[in-house]
C-alpha cells in the first residue's frame, strides 16, 4: 500500500502561529524563568522554533515517552523511555509537545511532573485533536485544533519518516 502526504497546515501558517504563541508565553511568564521540557522526538522541531520566540529566560530538558511504536494508533500503555536530567524543584515548567490526541500520554506525564516539586506545570502543544480524547486534558497553549487525521511533518512521523517536512501534512494511503 502506497502513501502520500497532503498539506494540512503550511510552513507559513505554522511559523506565524508559533510566533504568536511565543509572544503570549512571554507575556504570561514576564519576570520569570521558564523550564521547557521537550517531549522527544516529535516535539523537538516545535520546541526549537517556540524557544526562539520566547523573550524571557528559558532552560530546557528532554523526555521521551513511548506509546505508539510503528503504528498510527496509541497502544494505551505509556512508559518513560528517557527521563529528565535536572530537578524540577521550584521551576516554572512548560511541557512542549507536538500533539495531544487521546490524552493518555500527556495526562500520565503531567501527573508525574507535578509530583516532582515544580512551582507550576503547564502544557503547550502545536496540535490538538479533541475528537480523539479519551482522557480529560486541555493544553494551556494550543497552536491548532485539527481533525482526526494522522499527521506528519514538523517533527511528527509515520514509522520514523516525514519528520523533516517543514509543514504539517496528512498521511493518505493509496490502495
pLDDT in tens, 6-40: 999 999 999 999 999 999 999 999 999 999 999 99
pTM for this model (two decimals): 0.90
Q: What residues are annotated to the active site?
A: 101
pLDDT in tens, 80-104: 888 899 999 999 999 999 999 889 8
Beta strands 120-128; 58-66: pairing state: unpaired
pLDDT in tens, 148-167: 999 999 999 998 899 999 99
Cα–Cα distance, 46 to 100 (Å, whole number) = 13
H/E stretch holding 2 reads strand 2-9
**How many helices and strands, by DSSP H and E, does the chain display?**
3, 9
Amino acid at each position: 500500500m502506497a502513501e502520500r502526504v497532503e498539506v494540512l497546515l503550511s510552513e507559513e501558517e505554522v511559523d506565524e502561529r508559533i510566533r504568536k504563541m511565543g509572544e503570549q508565553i512571554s507575556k504570561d511568564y514576564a519576570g520569570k524563568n521558564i523550564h521547557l521540557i521537550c517531549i522527544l522526538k516529535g516535539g523537538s522541531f516545535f520546541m526549537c522554533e517556540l524557544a526562539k520566540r520566547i523573550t524571557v529566560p528559558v532552560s530546557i530538558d528532554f523526555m521521551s515517552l513511548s506509546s505508539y511504536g510503528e503504528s498510527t494508533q496509541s497502544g494505551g500503555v505509556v512508559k518513560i523511555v528517557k527521563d529528565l536530567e535536572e530537578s524540577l524543584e521550584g521551576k516554572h515548567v512548560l511541557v512542549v509537545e507536538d500533539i495531544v490526541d487521546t490524552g493518555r500520554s500527556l495526562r500520565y506525564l503531567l501527573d508525574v511532573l507535578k509530583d516532582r516539586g515544580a512551582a507550576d506545570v503547564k502544557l503547550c502543544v502545536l496540535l490538538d485533536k479533541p475528537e480523539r480524547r479519551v482522557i480529560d486534558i486541555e493544553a494551556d497553549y494550543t497552536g491548532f485544533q485539527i481533525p482526526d487525521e494522522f499527521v506528519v511533518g514538523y517533527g511528527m512521523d509515520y514509522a520514523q519518516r516525514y519528520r523533516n517536512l517543514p509543514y504539517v501534512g496528512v498521511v493518505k494511503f493509496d490502495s
